[in-house]
A and B are shown apart, each in its own frame.
Chain A
Amino acid sequence: MKLLKFGLRFWIALTSVFSFMVGWAMIAHSPKPVQPISASSSVLALPTLTPLQPLDFNSNTNGSQSSPLVVQSPSRFAQAPIFKTGGS
């Protein structure tokens, strides 16, 4: 019985070490991640985009001189409102 226990422990220890070594070797020999292309003068810089508007439209985070949001409650129509055109 003692011999069986010892053998089992030895087997578990051996397979653990072996698995660890195999994993190490696989990671060590795996391909390197792709490096980002360094910026050069021939590459155009992308334009800076303006920040996206927050989804909370009830608070004015703009900080500009525009009037506060939802200064006017939207009206509801059963049908589309009548549009007029005549120049401005």
Chain B
Amino acid sequence: MQSMEFRAMSTSVLLAAEGHDWAIAGLNAARRFIEDCEQRFSRFLPESELSQLNRFSGTWVTVSDDLMDLLNQSLDFYEETGGLFDPSILTDLKRAGYDKSMDEIRAHGVSSLSASKRTSRPAFNEIGLDPVGQRVRLPHGMEIDLGGIAKGWIVEKAAALLNTYSAICAVSAGGDIFFVGDPSDGSRWRVEVEDPRRPDETVAVLHVGQGAVVTSSITKRVWNQNGQPRHHLIDPRIGEPAESNWLSVTVIAPQMTLAEVYAKVLLIGGAGEAERLCSQRPEIAFVAVNANGEMFCSQNSKEYFDALDYIRF
């Protein structure tokens, strides 16, 4: 199996594909696709398509098919999760200090203008989508951050591209992974779930087939703001970093965007919302870890553990 690692979307990307020359060509093509997509959907690049959309709130803006697809999916997930998934929290995210890329925050800290008072903002479902005219209008005062859902979308599309070169392949962006096919040795893909308290250690090993594995964590993208620890997962109900009883949630799902959204909303909603959220999506399985290192798993997650691994619960 061929593999390639590089850095994109402020995280480490790993591509893997079975085969020889064609697989290598596929790795290069997938890498170029990911780098191109980052240029379009990053909120940190002023010329990206997303930044331009945010700049022209209040007016109709013509967008690409891809951005329209992402916004349509986002709106559907917003309604489905009762607003727990909300891409329009960008002003709250900036207020919490996440107003530049995580690489810059790690190097230079947060900006001094952060921590202002929360102001009211329009609800995400007030966004105007015109699929026929391929146009979008953000209400005045709305800024959106596609963050995780865009990353998931890019990973799955890159995997589909890689799949045209190799029947068995995988794409991982910072541990958000999409697998195509099963490894040719007859096994399933092995995925180690990190301990959110100690990333060098593993709390579980999953054995999965084709599909997505995504983890949301509140221990990775963290910083200090006026001496207070902050993280990047905003609870839209309060406009502040979520105070969850879980540290990380790993979701196994057939599609990347579905896995991205549910990993995020399960982490924000915590144990109190898990049953309601999972009842509407029986196709997803999840593994959550709390501050004591205890694991909470959905019933259907058992099939992803080997018997030996499962004994540890």
Contacts and interface: CB of A to CB of B under 8 A. Distances in A.
B93 interface: no
Interface residues of B, number: 56
Residue in A58, A62, A82, A83 with the greatest tally of chain B CB atoms within 10 Å: A83
Given A69-B32, A77-B1, A83 B191 contact: yes
B176 A76 contact: no
Contacts of A88: 10-12, 173-176, 220-221
A79 interface: yes
B75 interface: no
B196 interface: yes
Given A75-B4, A80-B183, A80-B189, A87 B32 contact: no
Contacts, number: 125
Contacts of B23: 74
B213 interface: yes
**Residue from the set A47, A65, A67, A84 with the largest chain B CB neighbour count within 10 Å:** A84
A86 B35 contact: no
A15 interface: no
Contacts of B170: 80, 83
Contact of B216 (A78, A80, A81, A87): A87
B3 A81 contact: yes
Interface of B: 1-6, 10-12, 14, 16, 23-25, 27-29, 31-32, 35-36, 39, 64-65, 132, 134, 170, 172-177, 183, 185, 187, 189-196, 199, 202, 213-217, 219-221, 248, 250
5 contacts: A80-B1, A81-B16, A84-B175, A87-B194, A87-B220
